Amino acid sequence: MNIFAAVAEWFLDPSQWSGPAGIPARLAEHLGYAALTLLIAAAVALPVGLYVGHTGKGRIAVVSVASALRALPTLGLLTLFVIVMGLGLMPPIWALVILTIPPLLAGAYSGIAAVDRTLVDAARAMGMTEWQVLAKVELPNALPVLLGGVRAAVLQVIATVAVVAYINLGGLGRFLIDGLAVSDPVRMFGGAILIALLALVVDGLLAVAQKYAVSPGLADRRHRQRRETPTVGAVQGGI
Amino acid sequence: MEWLLANLPDVLELTWLHWLQCVLPLLLGLVLSLPLGYVAWRLRPIRGAILSVSSVLYTIPSLALFVLLPFVLGTRILDPLNLIVALTIYAVALLVRSVVDALESIDDGVRQAAVAMGYRPLRRFFGVDLPLALPVLFAGLRVVSVSNISLASVGALIGVRNLGTLFTDGLLRFFVTEIVIGIVLTLLLAVVMDLIIVAVERVLTPWLRAGAKQPPAGTGAGFAARPHAGERPDPAEAAVLP
């Protein structure tokens, strides 16, 4: 039978849509791991990025740490954490957190650093405190770049969580790994389609969110510029 | 250390395979993205289409792409070719945008001067546009190189032999040393590749070192392509910007 027909049948099989190994359950696991990772990574990366962007202190350290972390092989880090810290939920999550920090950090830092310095000086001259400068001037102006970093981070997490199935966790990657183990190409193909679809849908949603979250003043100014907005994929780094 | 010495031939072979699996896609990606980027740059109407297709391709997670490709290409699932094609797709997706940004960054006055001096389109592209686009293009190459080297190890999950094999094997045998050696070698490979790319860039762009401390207009604007940036970062820094 044609593989595509077989995969369509796999998707239509009602047993795929229920139970702990069904598609909804795996999807929920996938999103759950991703959300947990993002929360921890954001709690670390965003404050550091904002601080460095605002004060300019530790700029070189942040840039070099972010690029060094980017070169780390996903699979190597995952297996290392599992062997050193044991099986279970948290070891792979910590590995994922380390991989998620660079895009968030770079987004926060470069977003703030790219804000026109005259705007910041004007804000100070008007008597704003440092906190007000950060919250009312730098953050809104940095939002497009910062959200770009968030989008890159989210995509990377969704891609990396697929690999986590290899070390005995759930998520949509299970279909691939289990399918490979029992040489079931239909299940692998179906799982791969699900993961790809999830990434595309989430990216689309984030693109829309990014559009709405950006202050209208900036959106307008961007519109008039000829250069297109950067896609975030641009520097996703190791998936 | 003893393990490394005992298994040196194997480890070296895996490193060599890993390097090949990353360099081939990098070169293929460059060769493919130059004409694509040029077309996207010249023909504004299809630029949007080319750039969106490339960003959609880039969005597909690596493991999924590795698994989908055999069905599309008709290759065996364990064929290293799948990995090479997948990494080439990522390279093209990233580099097309770099090429467009790089060509866009060139001062129009320079181009008009070339036309006024009698350069024909093809010669102008290779003699004027391409050289001036190199700094931004190389910033893109460096990003692709780092991300490919780190991505390739995921290929070990679908049975492709490279440094990632040290991770799957190390996990199987619960052997930390092997995994650490794999990580160190991967990082080393990324650094060496980066140095090679930077060296090639220095050779190809002698005018950047010659006099001007000021980089040419748009250097590093590639990825950074900030909507309203006050200052442009240098290419090395741009490489880590989202």
Distances in Å between the Cα of B79 and the Cα atoms of B155, B157, B158, B163 are 10, 12, 9, 16
Q: B121: distance to nearest CA of chain A, Å?
A: 24
What 3-state class would DSSP assign to A239?
coil
Helix, strand, coil shares, percent, chain B, to 5: 80, 0, 20
| CB–CB contact A159 B239 (8 Å) | no
Lowest mean pLDDT across A88-97, A114-123, A220-229, B67-76: A220-229
Name the pLDDT band for B217 (thresholds 50, 70, 90). very low
Residues A72 and A98: beta-carbon distance below 8 Å: yes
Whole-number pLDDT of residue A36: 92
Instruction: Please name which of B64, B62, B122, B67 lies closest in space to residue B93, comparing C-alpha atoms.
Output: B62
Q: How far apart are the first and last CA of chain B?
A: 38
Whether pLDDT at A156 is above 50: yes
Partners of B225 on chain A (C-beta within 8 Å) are: 227-230, 234
| CB–CB contact B147 A238 (8 Å) | yes
Distances in Å between the Cα of A138 and the Cα atoms of A26, A110, A128, A181, B230 are 40, 11, 12, 51, 13
Of the partner residues A63, A218, A231, the one whose CB lies closest to the CB of residue B55: A231
Average pLDDT, whole number, for chain A? 81
Of the partner residues B61, B149, B241, the one whose CB lies closest to the CB of residue A71: B149
Tokens 């070296």: give the residue: B12
pLDDT tens digit string along A189-239?
A: 888 889 989 989 998 898 888 888 777 766 655 444 444 444 443 444 333
| CB–CB contact B183 A77 (8 Å) | yes
Whole-number pLDDT of residue B212: 54
Rounded CA-CA distance A79/A2 in Å is: 36
Q: Does A200 touch chain B (CB under 8 A)?
A: yes
The mean pLDDT value for B58-75 works out to 84
Task: State both tokens at B117.
Answer: 């001096």
Rounded CA-CA distance B174/A181 in Å is: 19
Rounded CA-CA distance B41/B103 in Å is: 7
Quote the percentage of chain A above a pLDDT of 70.
Answer: 90
Q: What is the pTM of this model?
A: 0.79
Is B2 or A36 the better-scoring residue by pLDDT?
A36
Task: Give this complex's ipTM.
Answer: 0.76
CA A43 to chain centre: 14
Q: State which of A17-31, A57-71, B128-142, B200-214 shows the largest mean pLDDT.
A: B128-142
What 3-state class would DSSP assign to A193?
helix
Rounded CA-CA distance A35/B233 in Å is: 31
Whole-number pLDDT of residue B123: 87
Q: Does A191 touch chain B (CB under 8 A)?
A: yes
Cβ-count burial B51-70 (b if 16+ within 10 Å, e if not): beebbbbbbbbbbbbbbbbb
Of the partner residues A189, A191, A233, the one whose CB lies closest to the CB of residue B55: A233
Of the partner residues B56, B61, B166, the one whose CB lies closest to the CB of residue A158: B61
Quote the percentage of chain A above a pLDDT of 90.
Answer: 7
